[in-house]
Amino acid sequence: MKTVWAPWRIEYITADKEEGCIFCNALADQGDLTLYKGKITMVMMNKFPYINGHLLVAPKRHISFLNQLEKEEMGDLMQTIEQSVSILKKVMNPDGFNVGLNLGKVAGAGVEEHLHFHIVPRWLGDTNALTVFADVRVIPEHIKSTYSNLKPYFNELQINI
């Protein structure tokens, strides 16, 4: 049997579980993984990513369903998603992306009370049999390093909107 060491994960395992909505909490104070707070939308890194650069884009308003979005929020969400994809392309050079949302717990929503989109950069060969057979995910870069690489570009985004 082979062992995959991921010592940085222990801080997530042993940390106190966050109470309340992760998005609303991030808006109340600058979370250490919050990349962008715009007028209408926000971008934060996923604490439990599928792969490096896994971002969450959400309206600042606490809503659960697409039909609760106002037109301005829909437009701003899509613009922020597009700009986030552009930043990820520039900084991380992925081969493609999975972009989507999960509505309801049965659909995989981990935080079903606050609507949010996932942006997952993908590289050719980024998944392998290890994930399928051993239920192990290998993430090659520490999340704080990814944050440091992305944050300057999201700081510029705040100026341009």
Distance CA 88, CA 121 (A): 7
**Of the candidates 40, 150, 144, 136, the residue with the CA atom closest to the CA atom of residue 93:** 150
Catalytic: 114? no
**Catalytic residue of the set 114, 116, 118, 142:** 116
Look up residue 102 and give its DSSP letter: -
Of 74, 75, 72, 77, the C-alpha closest to 58 is 77
**Looking at this protein, which amino acid is placed at residue 54?**
H
Handedness of CA 26, 8, 46, 123 (dihedral sign): positive
Catalytic machinery residues: 116
